[in-house]
């Protein structure tokens, strides 16, 4: 079996387990789906929340220097003009010249084994030509053009009913009218054109974008938080939430989606000592990845070369992970200088300067940005947890989630579901555990062996079984460990 094939099988197994067991479903599945969107089922939402809450705990709640915000997804379009997204948040797009399927040019090259780091769009087109690279369907590819990835919509009611169709209809109605003199037609056309222009103008003013990153919602609240709390530098603002990108070719399960979730921090520093904070944040990132249960040897730091960094960034490290689809970006850490706050300072007319307490020293703080993608964290956690082993000569699939991430902590079963005395006692134990841990599942379907397999597949660390010994006096239950499959008897009081 080739390496690539193994990887694909691993991916197939993960996707099918995720769907079958209620972690992640394709979006709008009943209506044939919607490309690049995914829905979380009961276990997926629990896993996702655990991953996000752990982040919030480690980066916000456990620290003195972090403040949380939760900004609106819809923001004034000026935000995205000033940040540069309207002009430059683009990917290179090329087209199969026969069937007109569209592709990201850099992905076509990457799939053909060409390193495109630092390439301009023109250089990419040249590389395609030189190497004779064809579309996945074997056809010639077109020249590339840029494609802006922001989703647009409009806010509030606008007279969008007026468009080019309307003017034609209006003109035709005037033409057909028996009484329509040339003067009347002229007058009607003028009215129609006015309405169209008004409509276009309104549409432009009402234009909003679904945010392609959460970071701008942090920058736009920087001044608010400083005014409310006046924290000492360095300090950070953290946000979790949805981001939307109209990816040209969403692929690889949830890895590249059109709607996804981010966890971002803007850490404001005095430019004199950004390096210290950068190093400290990098360490904190590794601590979080360790808490996610990701093996250290699958995590790689990619020091992004100066010619490949954004022009304002003085240092960027991409943290890559060995996903089943290969080594790919999991998150990024970038020193962005004062680029973002300075843009707001210059474009909004509001000062973004920070005054060091008790001094007259004023400056626009510099910023370090750790930017995590929740879906990529979930995919890493799922793939790290996925294990196939053998128990008593039988193959089993087990999700070895760290206990604090497991969607269900305990499954409780009566040994036999047709013995009321066992069921009653098991219900008591279930209630005790449920009160304490919340994420506890009642499971009395099939025989015990089947229940264990099912719980292994969803990563439940412990199965608790109530049997005749429990009710015949000693008050102990069987507790079975997911990873070792070892079973022990312990008393109910020790359980809780």
Indicate the residue whose CB is closest to ligand ATP: 373
Residue 421: CB minimum distance to ligand ATP, A: 51
Q: Which is nearer to ligand ATP, 111 or 232 (CB)?
A: 111
According to the binding rule CB under 6 A, does residue 376 interact with ligand ATP? yes
Question: Binding to ligand ATP (CB under 6 A): which residues in 53-72?
Answer: none
According to the binding rule CB under 6 A, does residue 252 interact with ligand ATP? no
According to the binding rule CB under 6 A, does residue 239 interact with ligand ATP? no
Using CB under 6 A, which of 216, 221, 240, 262 touches ligand ATP? 262
- Enumerate the β-bridge partners of residue 75: 209
Q: How far is the C-alpha of 305 from the C-alpha of 315, rounded, in Å?
A: 8
Q: What is the token pair recorded at 63?
A: 């620290």
Stretch that binds ligand ATP, among 93-101, 156-164, 369-377, 397-405 (CB under 6 A): 369-377
User: Residue 293 carries which DSSP code?
Assistant: T
Question: Binding to ligand ATP (CB under 6 A): which residues in 173-192?
Answer: none
Using CB under 6 A, which of 125, 322, 340, 375 touches ligand ATP? 375
Q: Which is nearer to ligand ATP, 332 or 365 (CB)?
A: 332
Instruction: Tell me which residue of 317, 410, 292, 384 sits closest to 52, measured CA to CA.
Output: 292
Using CB under 6 A, which of 135, 239, 257, 470 touches ligand ATP? 257
Residue 13: CB minimum distance to ligand ATP, A: 21
According to the binding rule CB under 6 A, does residue 247 interact with ligand ATP? yes
Q: How far is CA 337 from CA 274, 278, 279, 310, 313, in A?
A: 9, 12, 15, 11, 6
Q: Which is nearer to ligand ATP, 38 or 452 (CB)?
A: 38
Helix (H, G, I), strand (E, B) or coil at 327: strand
Give the distance, in angstroms, between the CA of residue 380 and the centroid of all CA atoms in the same chain.
Answer: 12
According to the binding rule CB under 6 A, does residue 104 interact with ligand ATP? no
According to the binding rule CB under 6 A, does residue 240 interact with ligand ATP? no
Using CB under 6 A, which of 92, 370, 373, 407 touches ligand ATP? 373
Q: Which is nearer to ligand ATP, 244 or 386 (CB)?
A: 244
Question: Binding to ligand ATP (CB under 6 A): which residues in 291-350?
Answer: 329, 331-332
Q: Which is nearer to ligand ATP, 226 or 294 (CB)?
A: 294
Q: Which is nearer to ligand ATP, 203 or 315 (CB)?
A: 315
Q: Which is nearer to ligand ATP, 174 or 374 (CB)?
A: 374
Contact call for residues 93 and 146 (beta carbons, < 8 A) = yes
- Enumerate the β-bridge partners of residue 238: 68, 265
Question: Binding to ligand ATP (CB under 6 A): which residues in 410-469?
Answer: none
Q: Which is nearer to ligand ATP, 375 or 456 (CB)?
A: 375
Stretch that binds ligand ATP, among 19-27, 118-126, 290-298, 373-381 (CB under 6 A): 373-381
According to the binding rule CB under 6 A, does residue 409 interact with ligand ATP? no
Stretch that binds ligand ATP, among 181-189, 234-242, 253-261, 460-468 (CB under 6 A): 253-261
According to the binding rule CB under 6 A, does residue 381 interact with ligand ATP? no
Q: Which is nearer to ligand ATP, 102 or 129 (CB)?
A: 102
Q: What is the token pair recorded at 129?
A: 């030509």
Binding residues for ligand ATP, rule CB under 6 A, total 13
Q: Which is nearer to ligand ATP, 269 or 374 (CB)?
A: 374
Sign (positive or negative) of CA dihedral 376, 382, 385, 386: negative
Residue 257: CB minimum distance to ligand ATP, A: 4
Q: Which is nearer to ligand ATP, 235 or 323 (CB)?
A: 323
Helix (H, G, I), strand (E, B) or coil at 420: helix
Using CB under 6 A, which of 21, 48, 85, 245 touches ligand ATP? 245
According to the binding rule CB under 6 A, does residue 260 interact with ligand ATP? yes
- Which segments within 223-350 are labelled E, that is strand? 235-244, 259-269, 299-303, 315-323, 326-335
Residue 272: CB minimum distance to ligand ATP, A: 26
Q: How far is CA 116 from CA 119, 123, 125, 416, in A?
A: 5, 9, 11, 61
Q: How far is the C-alpha of 429 from the C-alpha of 336, rounded, in Å?
A: 53
Residues that bind ligand ATP (CB under 6 A): 245, 247, 256-257, 260, 262, 329, 331-332, 371, 373, 375-376
């Amino acid at each position: 079996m080739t390496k690539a094939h193994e990887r694909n099988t691993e991916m197939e197994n993960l996707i099918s387990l995720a769907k079958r067991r209620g972690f992640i479903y394709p979006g709008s599945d009943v209506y044939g789906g919607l490309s690049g969107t995914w829905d979380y089922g009961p276990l997926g939402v629990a896993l996702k929340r655990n991953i996000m809450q752990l982040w919030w705990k480690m980066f916000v709640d456990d620290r003195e220097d972090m403040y949380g915000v939760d900004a609106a997804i819809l923001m004034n379009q000026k935000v995205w003009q000033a940040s540069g997204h309207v002009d430059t948040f683009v990917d290179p797009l090329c087209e199969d010249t026969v069937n007109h399927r569209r592709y990201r040019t850099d992905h076509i090259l990457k799939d053909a084994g060409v390193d495109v780091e630092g390439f301009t769009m023109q250089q990419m087109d040249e590389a395609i030509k030189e190497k004779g690279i064809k579309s996945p369907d074997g056809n010639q590819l077109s020249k590339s053009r840029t494609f802006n990835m922001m989703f647009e919509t409009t806010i509030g009611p606008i007279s969008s009913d007026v468009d080019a169709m309307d003017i034609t209809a209006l003109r035709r109605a005037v033409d057909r009218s028996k009484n329509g003199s040339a003067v009347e037609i002229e007058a009607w056309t003028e009215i129609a054109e006015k309405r169209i222009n008004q409509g276009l103008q309104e549409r432009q003013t009402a234009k909003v974008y679904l945010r392609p990153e959460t970071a701008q919602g942090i920058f736009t609240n920087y001044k608010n938080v400083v005014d409310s709390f006046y924290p000492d530098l360095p300090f950070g603002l953290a946000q979790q939430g949805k981001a939307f990108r109209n990816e040209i070719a969403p692929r690889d399960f949830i890895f590249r989606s059109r709607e996804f979730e981010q966890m971002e921090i803007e850490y404001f520093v005095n430019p004199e000592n950004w390096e210290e904070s950068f190093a400290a944040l990098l360490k904190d990132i590794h601590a979080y990845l360790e808490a996610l249960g990701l093996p250290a040897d699958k995590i790689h730091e990619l020091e992004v070369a100066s010619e490949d960094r954004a022009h304002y960034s003085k240092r960027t490290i991409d943290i890559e992970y060995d996903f089943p689809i290969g080594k790919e970006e999991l998150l990024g850490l970038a020193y962005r200088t004062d680029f973002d706050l300075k843009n707001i300072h210059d474009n909004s007319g509001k000062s973004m300067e920070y005054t060091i307490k008790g001094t007259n020293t004023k400056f626009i703080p510099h910023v370090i940005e750790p930017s995590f993608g929740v879906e990529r964290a979930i995919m890493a956690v799922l793939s790290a947890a996925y294990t196939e082993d053998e128990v008593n000569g039988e193959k089993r699939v087990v999700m070895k989630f760290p206990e604090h991430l497991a969607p269900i902590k305990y499954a409780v079963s009566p040994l036999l579901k047709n013995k009321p005395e066992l069921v009653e006692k098991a219900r008591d134990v279930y209630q005790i555990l449920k009160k304490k841990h919340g994420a506890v599942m009642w499971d009395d379907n099939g025989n015990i062996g089947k229940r264990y397999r099912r719980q292994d597949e969803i990563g439940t660390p412990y199965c608790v079984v109530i049997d005749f010994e429990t009710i015949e006096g000693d008050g102990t239950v069987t507790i079975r460990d997911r990873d070792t499959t070892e079973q022990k008897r312990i008393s109910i009081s020790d359980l809780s």
